Amino acid sequence: MDKAALLPWTLKYEPKTFSSYSLHQEQLQQMLSFFQNFKKQKRKAMLLHGPTGCGKTVAVHALAKETNYELIEINASDFRNKELVLSIIGTASKQMSLFSAGKIILVDEVDGLSGNQDRGGISAIEEVIDGTAFPIFLTCQDATDKKVKSLLKKVHAVAFPPLNYLLVTDILKKICVAEKITFDDAALKTLARQCDGDLRAAINDLQSLGTQKITMEHINQLGFRNKQEAIEDALVKVFKVKDAAVALRAFDNVHEDLDKIALWIDENLPKEYLDPQSLVAAYECVSRADVFTGRIRRWQHWGFLVYVNALLSAGVAVSKTERNKNPVAYQQTQRILKMWIAKQKYAKRLCIAEKIAAKNHVSSSYAVQHVVPYVKHIFKNNQTMREQMIAEFEFDADEVGWLQT
């Protein structure tokens, strides 16, 4: 049997040269410039960050083949402590290649280092970078991850965005032609959408179908990739991508309701959209989504949920004039905490008002509006009356503290 027939298609159809790699041209030029000017660079490593299956590792493979440099590929999770990193990666970074013009070192999945097993792993990689004689490429999914954040001082960071489903579809079509597989356009597009920008997963799924014709029936049998996704990863698809189709499904596998997603977007929008016009357009979409949310609550018209999702995902995505190329550390909204603090303060005020209302035969609402402000003024300015009020209304320590603020 032909050995090529036994190869995984991800390897069989991997680009053989750097120039034949058709994706992420801007990122490839940055990689090539770093490689060609390595000896002049202060930073001796480049960090490629982006979602799974977007082409980071394959880009390094293609560069090594194009330049005829030996590729030393190491998965960081296999060398989890300082001693192993220094003995394996450190040694490779200093010894000359026996077979090629030079050497490229690829340390894959540096964000796989975590926990007690990885003591000193990241610091050891930083030490290797400082002393390397050869260009080092590192990959991770999220450059803002606290596990790899310290590396940013030592590396050139290059973001690889998720792949547009149309690009994935084109690659799947080329593979089908090479494998003499007939296909329905709609079926391949659906397969590409389901893999959510993960080209490796799309190719593996295509190979797993094992048929000479790809139809929607085959895709339905394959099923959807229902993987849980972090909200930060979903936000990348909205903020960093302008393709409405990709953004529309960004929150499909996020286990957060749309109300919380809206708060996440509201908190992080100003960090991503630096152009005022883009920011206004994006907040217009968030505002309209809030209008539909209000209609759902008021009239229970749950069909409006589709509009809420579309506005928060695709609407926000297409509002930007250009993508912010700088990595942004997304933060959870502080609004819920502030609302909770405000509610706690109001709860104390209401409790005080109820005690005053009971003694003075007025409503609690009247006491809140007209009596409590007066009591607060007395508490700050008249110690004698303050002591009398504490005894009269039996205010506890928390209530006294609130009245004195």
Return the pLDDT at 31: 92
CA-CA distance, 44 to 3, in Å (whole number)? 38
Return the pLDDT at 7: 66
Q: Is-contact 158 48, C-beta < 8 A?
A: yes
Q: Is-contact 196 249, C-beta < 8 A?
A: yes
pLDDT greater than 80 at residue 303: no
Question: Which of 5-9, 111-115, 157-161 has the lowest average pLDDT?
Answer: 111-115
Q: pTM of this prediction? A: 0.54
Return the pLDDT at 30: 92
Question: Which of 80-89, 211-220, 381-390 has the lowest average pLDDT?
Answer: 80-89
Return the pLDDT at 229: 61
Return the pLDDT at 278: 94
Highest mean pLDDT of the ranges 61-70, 78-87, 206-215? 61-70
Q: Which of 52, 109, 55, 22 is nearest to 237 (CA)?
A: 52
Return the pLDDT at 20: 78
Class of domain 165-222: mainly alpha
CA-CA distance, 15 to 65, in Å (whole number)? 9
Whole-number percent of the chain with pLDDT over 70: 84
Mean pLDDT (whole number) for 302-310:
85
Return the pLDDT at 115: 42
pLDDT in tens, 70-126: 888 877 766 555 666 666 676 666 666 555 568 888 888 887 765 444 455 777 888
Q: Is-contact 31 61, C-beta < 8 A?
A: no
Mean pLDDT (whole number) for 14-29:
82
51, 93, 373, 405 from 377: Cα distances, Å = 57, 71, 6, 10
Q: What is the overall mean pLDDT for the chain?
A: 82
Q: Is-contact 103 70, C-beta < 8 A?
A: yes
37, 103, 319 from 98: Cα distances, Å = 22, 10, 53
Beta-carbon-side half-sphere exposure of residue 269 (alpha carbons within 13 Å): 26
Return the pLDDT at 226: 45
Q: Which CATH code, of 3.60.15.10, 3.30.365.10, 3.10.20.30, 3.40.50.300, is assigned to 3-159?
A: 3.40.50.300
Return the pLDDT at 97: 58
User: Which band of pLDDT confidence, cut at 50, 70 and 90, is reported for residue 273?
Assistant: very high
Return the pLDDT at 381: 85
Whole-number percent of the chain with pLDDT over 90: 20
